[in-house]
Amino acid sequence: MKKTLVSACLLGIDCKYSGENNKNEELLEFLKGKDIIPICPEQLGGLKTPRQMAELKSTAKDIVENEGIVITKDNVDVTKEFLKGGYEILKYLKLFDIEKAILKEGSPSCGSNFVYDGSFSSKKIKGQGITAYLLQKEGVKLFSENNFMEA
């Protein structure tokens, strides 16, 4: 049976950088009876919750190709943890029949259409988070809390 990866924070799990969640009641209703796997790449990468806010300082593609970094608001390089989390999520593709993912938009890991620009000024730019980029590269169809009804 086909499974869907879902950002755990959208399901109400307190794994967001702030220690809170992004629970989405409409999404929970939509997912009833569906085969899902909750994920939090940042936790799988070894980051604790709560943790410092982080943003990409270049594109996800550049970061995956070792040409960019992910930094926290306090200027700590967390690239290694974000990459580890993304690659850990890819292991799910070998274990389960995954066809799509519903991910938290704007996240430096899970953003599928936009991320923050790396200036910590709340400015959004077109782009993807590390995990979203890696999943899409493997053919997983990406959705967010904004368009999950299309999933």
**pLDDT score for 1:** 83
Threshold 0.95, pTM exceeds: yes
Q: Which pair of tokens denotes residue 15?
A: 């794994």
Q: Which amino acid is at 25?
A: E
**pLDDT score for 31:** 98
Q: How many domains does the chain have?
A: 1
**pLDDT score for 74:** 96
**In the predicted model, is pLDDT for residue 99 greater than 90?**
yes
Q: 50: cis peptide before it, omega within 30°?
A: yes
Q: Tell me the pLDDT of the chain averaged across its residues.
A: 97
Do 96 and 106 touch, CB atoms closer than 8 A? Answer: no
Mean of the pLDDT values across residues 29-36? Answer: 97
**pLDDT score for 66:** 96
**In the predicted model, is pLDDT for residue 39 greater than 90?**
yes
End-to-end CA distance of the chain: 15
Q: Which residue has the tokens 């929970």?
A: 28
Range of the domain at 101: 3-150
Contacts of 31 (CB under 8 A, 6+ apart): 4, 6, 11
Q: What percent of the chain has pLDDT over 70?
A: 100
**In the predicted model, is pLDDT for residue 97 greater than 90?**
yes
Mean of the pLDDT values across residues 116-139? Answer: 97
